[in-house]
Amino acid sequence: MPLQKHKRRLRRNGLLHPPAWAPWRHTGAARRRPRLSIACAALWAAVAACAGGAAAWADVPTVLATGDLRGEIKPCGCSPEGQFGGLPRLLTFVQQTRGASPQPVLVNLGNNFPAPSDQGRLKVELTQTVLRALPPDAILPGPNELALGAEALDAALPYVASNDRVGRVFRPRVQVRRAGRTIGIYGYLSPSLVYQGSQTRFALEPVTPAWLQRLRAESDAAGDELRLLLFRGNDEELAILADAQVFTRIVGGNPFDDELHQVLTRQVGAQTVAQVPTKGQGVLRMPLGVGPAQVEWLGERYADHPRAVAAMSVYDEQVKQLFFRQMEQLQRAQSAAVFAGVATCEPCHKPIVQLWSASGHARAHAVLVGAGKQFDPECLACHVVGLGSGGYINQTVTPQLANVQCENCHGPGIAHNGNPAAVKPRPAVPAAQNPLRPGEATCRTCHRGSHSPKFDFPTYWAKIKH
C-alpha cells in the first residue's frame, strides 16, 4: 500500500495523531516569524534578545477543549468501564491546569444540554452553574443549547457564534492573550443543524468566501496573531473552513453520541481535525500551532470538586421535588394497574422466582438507594418495573414493583395470573423483533452503552437462565 494511503487509513482509524501544521502558514502576523529568526542568526550582538524571542515562540499556547456533555452531568456509576467524565471532575481538572504557565486557552464545544424536559431544565441550570465556575474563554452553542430556545443561555457565559448575523445572543469573537500572543477565538455552528424557525434572536448563516473574507479583515484589524475556530457542522463546511487557511487551528464538536466508540478525529481532504470526546468523558489538549492533540480522560484520579458537588446536591434535591410533583400527576392519571409484581408469580413458578431472587436484577432498586438516586426517573427507568407506563410509582405506593422483575422481560402479568392457561404474558419487546422471545433485544433496552459496556447475550443470559 502506498505510504500516503496507508497513513490516511491509519488516521481514519484514529491511530495517527493529526498532522502538525505551522501557524505561520495561516496567519499574516505569524508569517513574519521565520524571517525574524534568520535576522537573529545574523546578529551576534542581539543574542539575548533573540533567545528571548525564540523562547516566546517555543511557548505555543495550549488549548484545552471540552464539550458535548449531552446532559451527562456525572457518570451514572452503572459499570466501572463507563466511568469517565462529569462536571465535578472537569472542574477539578481545570482548576489544576489553570495554575500552569502560560495559562491554557479553555474552550467548550457546546452541545452540553440534555434533551428538553422538566428534568432537562434542571440540568441546564446545573451545567451553566459549573460552566460559570470554570469558566471557559469561549463556548460554541450547539443544537442542544438552541433546542431549549436562546432564552436558556446564560448571558454571563461567553457563547460565540461568528456566523450569526444578529448578534443579540452570541458574541462574534472572543480575544484572549496567552503566552505573549493575541488569540482570536471564533465559532461556527452550521445552520443545517439548527431549526431557526421564525425566532429573531439569532440567524446563523452558512460559510461563504465573503463571510470568511470579512472575518479575516476584522480579525486582522483586532490584532489577532493566532486564530482558533470552534466548529460544529458537516464535512463540506469543514473542508471550506480548513482550506481557507484563515485559522491557526480548528477544533470540532463531536457528532456521535456513542461514548464506547469515541471518534476523536475527522478527516477533511489532507487535514485531520481533532474533535472533543463525546459525553464530556475527556478533555482534548493540543497546542495552538504545531503538534498532535491528546485526550486526558476524566477518570477517578480527578476528585469531584466540592463546588460542583454542592451544585449537584442542589440538583438532586430539585429532581426529588420534581419526582414527587410528577408522580402525583401520574397517580391521578393512572387508570388500572397492569403489572402484578414477582410475588404473585411465585405460587406457580417457584423455582424461577428463586433463581431470580439470587440475581442482580433483584437488587436493582437497592443499588440506586446506595447511590442516592432512587428519586431520579432517569435512573429508575431501567431499575424498576414499568416506570411511567402503569407500573412503578414510588416505594410508598408500589414497593412490589421495585427492581428488575419477570414483567420487565415478559410484559404485564395481571391477565395471565387470572387465567394462566388461556392468557400468556406478552413479551415486553414484540416477538418479531425478538427471535429468542423475551431475548436479546429485550435485554438491550437496558443493557446498552455505558450502562453495560461488557454486555454479551450468551454470557449474561447464562447467569440468569431459567
- Chain contacts with ligand HEC (rule: CB under 6 A): 76-79, 340, 342, 344-345, 347-349, 352-353, 356, 360-361, 363-364, 367-368, 371, 373, 376, 378-379, 381-383, 404-410, 413, 416-417, 420-421, 424-425, 436-439, 442-443, 445-448, 451-452, 454-455, 460-461, 463-464, 466
What's the closest the beta carbon of residue 66 comes to ligand HEC, in angstroms?
20
Nearer to ligand HEC, 50 or 342 (CB): 342
Omega into 102 within 30° of 0, i.e. cis? yes
Nearer to ligand HEC, 337 or 367 (CB): 367
What's the closest the beta carbon of residue 308 comes to ligand HEC, in angstroms?
16
Nearer to ligand HEC, 31 or 437 (CB): 437
What's the closest the beta carbon of residue 224 comes to ligand HEC, in angstroms?
42
Backbone CA torsion sign across 90, 95, 97, 103 = positive
Nearer to ligand HEC, 198 or 459 (CB): 459
Backbone CA torsion sign across 80, 82, 85, 86 = negative
Residues ≥6 apart with Cβ < 8 Å to 361: 403, 404, 405, 408, 464
251: buried, middle or exposed (CB in 10 Å: 19+, 13-18, 0-12)?
Answer: buried
Nearer to ligand HEC, 82 or 141 (CB): 82
Nearer to ligand HEC, 98 or 448 (CB): 448
Nearer to ligand HEC, 301 or 465 (CB): 465
What's the closest the beta carbon of residue 379 comes to ligand HEC, in angstroms?
3
Residues ≥6 apart with Cβ < 8 Å to 148: 113, 116, 120, 121, 124
Nearer to ligand HEC, 103 or 434 (CB): 434
Backbone torsions φ then ψ of 47, nearest 5 degrees: -50, -50
What's the closest the beta carbon of residue 382 comes to ligand HEC, in angstroms?
3
What's the closest the beta carbon of residue 418 comes to ligand HEC, in angstroms?
8
Residues ≥6 apart with Cβ < 8 Å to 268: 235, 238, 239, 242
Q: What CA–CA distance (Å, rounded) separates 449 from 454?
A: 9
What's the closest the beta carbon of residue 355 comes to ligand HEC, in angstroms?
7
139: buried, middle or exposed (CB in 10 Å: 19+, 13-18, 0-12)?
Answer: buried
What's the closest the beta carbon of residue 253 comes to ligand HEC, in angstroms?
24
3-state secondary structure of 164: strand
Nearer to ligand HEC, 155 or 421 (CB): 421
Nearer to ligand HEC, 173 or 383 (CB): 383
Q: What CA–CA distance (Å, rounded) separates 229 from 104?
A: 16
Backbone torsions φ then ψ of 382, nearest 5 degrees: -105, 0
Place of cell 421535588: 321
What's the closest the beta carbon of residue 371 comes to ligand HEC, in angstroms?
4
Answer yes or no: are the C-beta atoms of 56 and 179 closer than 8 Å: yes
Place of cell 470568511: 212
457: buried, middle or exposed (CB in 10 Å: 19+, 13-18, 0-12)?
Answer: middle
Q: What CA–CA distance (Å, rounded) separates 313 from 308?
A: 9
What's the closest the beta carbon of residue 402 comes to ligand HEC, in angstroms?
11
Nearer to ligand HEC, 204 or 345 (CB): 345
Any alpha helices (H) in 67-142, and if so which ranges?
A: 87-98, 118-133
Place of cell 537573529: 40
What's the closest the beta carbon of residue 143 comes to ligand HEC, in angstroms?
22
Q: What is the dihedral of CA 151, 115, 66, 212, to 10 degrees?
A: -60
